[in-house]
Amino acid sequence: MTSAKLWGGRFTGATDPLMDAFNASIHFDKRLFEADVLGSQAYAKALARIGIITSQEQDLLVNGLETVLNEWQTNIFVIQPGDEDIHTANERRLGELVGNVAGKLHTGRSRNDQVATDFRIWARDESKKLLIYVKQLISATVERAEKEIDVIMPGYTHLQRAQPIRWSHWLLCYAWSWQADAQRLEEIIDRMNVLPLGSGALAGNPFNIDRELLAKELGFKNVIQNSLYGVSDRDFVAELLFWASLTMIHISRFSEDLIIYSSGEFGFVTLSDAYSTGSSLMPQKKNPDSCELLRGKSGRVFGQMSGFFMTYKGIPSTYNKDLQEDKEPLFDAVDTLAGSLQITTGVLSTLTIHPENMKKSLSIDMLATDVAEYLVRKGVPFRETHHIAGAAVRTAEEHGCTMDKLELSDFQQLHPAFSQDITEIWNFEKSIENRSSLGGTSRATVLEQIHKLKEWLNIN
């Protein structure tokens, strides 16, 4: 096999060495080595079916490609200076192994439909791994929520104490976010799983290649129906980068809560030593570095998405070299997500909670809404009860005490519907149990959430 460029026949002059380096992608697209080999093996079989190559040549090509794959997997593949990209490198090495028959493999195929196929195979397979990590995170969250269902804590809005809730209810808030992430990823995997191979450079394959059989061979559910679209579509990259950004935002928000809850001012949780570091100056410090890094990496992933979107928006139809810029952002985002999801699972699984500190942070004023609801149950319109409950809070402040220390007469001055049973309001557990509508924080409804998530995860 000659070392000349695959596209060099029309050119007589040498390219600028700087342009060669600028144009090359082998330093990052070598990650596609397995997908490229699998696609080429399938294509060799398809060529044999239509008589372009013999069955003996097919076997020679398929076996030679298997050797190429093994060299990549065992880290003995040697990239040569002329290896512009993963396709060039693999074809060059195949030629060294099997001779001139390697030149028949590219019949009717372009690097345009080849790279589009390789990248979809890689993205599909990596997405399936990410889906496993997301489900492991959800499973760990559900397991913890079930075990610690009787722990109660303050719920917050605007970072102000609002109403009492179950710790498990807070945990499941994120479990449901991650379930939505998992469902979105499943949809993206399904949409991306269509085959571009057989589109040629842009106009289609001239040898009547059997694309349906190619799709079946490579695990695609269908073929892309338009060759122009086949070589140029990178919506699956855009979708995956958006998915990665949104999933990292959910991880970031979870991390932010844990950073707050692990602070000395809250003391609700302590992160495991495995996911914390100390200060180089202050020996008493235990820093939530894992959560801070997770929070920070969400910005990194979003940056990869925004950068690719700005590239993608200006590309005219069919393949343009700008699309070489699709891989590094997705490679980085996938790597970041793979690590972040596993670290988040580790942080969540190993942290220690302090139920006594959570309970001590509950305050009677958090039951002001329960006072309003008490009056609603006695027939007073809610708009009135909200105002009356606020007046009760103000009266307690004026008396220098909490609402549960007010006399019945103090309440009855606000509204005659108050009676001795107002004392039953001052119970955080009862307040929580009153939130028994579907999706609420009562024990039964939290257990129902756990049941539904376990059912979705196929956990017995």
Can you name the residues that pair with 152 across neighbouring β-strands?
166
Residue 316, phi then psi, degrees to nearest 5 = -70, 180
Tokens standing for residue 389: 């409950």
User: Angle 249-253-255 (CA atoms, 0-180°, nearest 5)?
Assistant: 115
Distances (CA, A) of 376 to 68, 143, 382, 385, 406: 75, 37, 6, 7, 20
* CA max distance for the chain: 101
Tokens standing for residue 328: 């590094």
Tokens 């080595």 sit at which residue? Answer: 33
The answer to whether the CB of 368 falls within 8 A of the CB of 431 is no
Task: Give the C-alpha separation, 149 to 137, whole Å.
Answer: 18
Task: Give the C-alpha separation, 378 to 388, whole Å.
Answer: 13
> Would you please indicate which residues are annotated as catalytic (active-site) residues?
158, 279
DSSP states of 311-336:
HHTT--SS--GGGGGGHHHHHHHHHH
Task: Give the C-alpha separation, 230 to 194, whole Å.
Answer: 9
Burial 191-221 (b: 16+ CB within 10 A, else e): ebbbbbbbbbbbebbeeebbbeebbebbebe
Reference 346, options 437, 255, 264; nearest CA is: 255
DSSP states of 233-295:
--HHHHHHHHHHHHHHHHHHHHHHHHHHHTSTTT-SEE--GGG-B--SS-TT--B-HHHHHHH
Task: Give the C-alpha separation, 331 to 335, whole Å.
Answer: 6
